[in-house]
A and B are shown apart, each in its own frame.
Chain A
């Protein structure tokens, strides 16, 4: 938007607002990063002394790295499955041609409403009775179920803002179903699908309750590992793991930006 249209007091207020919000968002992370360099055993801030011992502990311990890869694997699979299933469902819901669309929209939201613990126990009972021991697949399915609502919500929100006549126009001009979907509807919903995919990844990557109960030996995700460490012997190693995660996220985003031009994507 042309800059001359924004009064200067708005610019000032926006700056202050952003600074305060960023401080709020970063405050606990600053604590986490600070604690990770602490010399002492405690989670205290400001930290006592300065050392890298917790990084050494974490990086030399295979439990964290293997838990990390388990989490990444599940989260990537969930991102794909939840975005495909949820995105497709959102497009169908958006067109409002299915009987009871409103009811269906609520249906797709329902996994959000119940505390995960109830679903975790229910899923574990169900799976054990029908398929036997739980596995990687169980967790994948479980995470997909709780991630789908996010994709449906964000995609629906974006689609509802897009021009409904575009698809009609494409139809009149002779575009087939697949073409309309690929070249009109999906691009229209892209920001929503993108946000949904990101949420799906994040939900799975940070999910602790399902992962805790649908567990078997060798299937420990990073949040479960962290939760366990905090529960039995809390020390700054969990802060070190989290700091590494924070750093990886920043680097990853910057790399993606370099390669794909995230700025362009983010501004579409």
Chain B
């Protein structure tokens, strides 16, 4: 058996499953996007791309996903680093704390945020008492609410992705850096950060794609006045029953995500051989 055969055998079951149970059904669904009453058409695409409203929805989706990814990385990296370097007992508790939100249904967690962020919720009340906000101030149905909720949902994915990689870094490298006169921050920048980059990349890929394609949290926290693309797709499928348009929106979302991801993967792949 050659190496290539061995690898092919390893990858085959997964490839086979995805091809049959993902690409076939999804292809059938996405084919609807060019289906019109009189044969193939691009009308669904031009309807989307020629309308400022839908372009705005697309732009909001991409923009918020980028913001969410950056915030998750900014919090996730130090969190993972601390988790990797504290004692075993503390690490266990930190892992529990990071995992706990994941074990609660997203719908329920988001409802928790709804309660906290709405007009008479704890957080706006607090801001009002401090004189920072007006009488009807609410965080609900704002982009801030979407970002807060999504970072909460996705932070564990980022932190755990990075943790997996950081925990493999030999701590002697850091010690060497320190004894050779690097400051703490220099060690982080020149040793830990570059070595943990694959984790940051993996986490960012997950977080970006997940936030661009998720529906429950943005819909509940942003409300109908701040639509994101996934919510718009959901509505086209279940409410206006316009499946061809839903499919066209999905293709556009797919293309949009790839446009952002491919350069990113290229760039980071070069750095990491």
Contact = CB atoms under 8 A, between A and B. Distances in A.
Interface stretch (A48-56, A57-65, A83-91): A83-91
A32 B109 contact: yes
A217 interface: no
B213 A27 contact: no
A98 B6 CA distance: 10
A169 interface: no
Contacts of A27: 112-113, 116
Contact of A158 (B95, B164, B206): B164
Interface string A2-34: 100111001000100110011011111111100
Contacts of A135: none
Interface in A122-149: 122-123, 125-127, 141-142, 144-145, 148
Contact of B164 (A45, A191, A209): A191
Contacts of A31: 112, 115-116
Nearest to B22: A145
A119 to B, nearest CB: 6
A76 to B, nearest CB: 15
Contact of A238 (B25, B108, B155, B202): B108
A182 interface: no
Nearest to A194: B164
A98 B233 CA distance: 36
B175 A242 contact: no
Interface residues of A, number: 105
B24 A246 contact: no
A92 B168 contact: no
Contact of A156 (B202, B233, B247): B202
Contacts of A248: 103
Given A162-B168, A195-B160, A249 B103 contact: yes
Given A97-B3, A108-B14, A267 B91 contact: yes
Given A122-B29, A126-B28, A115 B230 contact: yes
Interface stretch (B45-53, B133-141, B252-260): B252-260
A115 B250 contact: yes
A114 B184 CA distance: 41
A157 B161 CA distance: 8
B100 A242 contact: no
Nearest to B237: A117
Interface of B: 1, 3-4, 6-8, 10-11, 13-15, 17-18, 21-30, 75, 78-79, 82, 85, 88-89, 91-92, 94-113, 115-116, 121-122, 152, 155-157, 160-161, 163-165, 167-169, 171, 174-175, 178-179, 184, 195, 198-199, 201-202, 205-206, 209-210, 212-216, 229-230, 233-234, 237-238, 243, 246-247, 250, 253-254, 257-258, 265, 269, 272
B168 A95 contact: no
Interface string A140-182: 0110110010101110111011100000000000000100000
Given A115-B214, A153-B161, 7 more contacts: A2-B175, A28-B113, A113-B254, A123-B25, A153-B205, A205-B103, A206-B105
Contact of A223 (B24, B105, B152, B214): B105
Nearest to B213: A115
A118 B247 contact: yes
Contact of B7 (A95, A152, A154, A268): A95
Interface string A72-85: 00000000000011
Contacts of A30: 112
A93 B97 contact: no
5 contacts: A88-B13, A117-B234, A156-B202, A209-B215, A253-B92
B4 A97 contact: yes
A29 B92 contact: no
B168 A246 contact: no
Contact of A109 (B13, B79, B205): B205
Given A121-B29, A199-B157, A108 B167 contact: no
B234 to A, nearest CB: 5
Contact of B122 (A45, A89, A198, A239): A45
A206 B230 CA distance: 18
A227 B213 contact: no
A226 B121 CA distance: 23
Contacts of B178: 5
A115 B246 CA distance: 10
Given A85-B13, A246-B104, A118 B21 contact: no
A249 B92 CA distance: 13
B96 A253 contact: yes
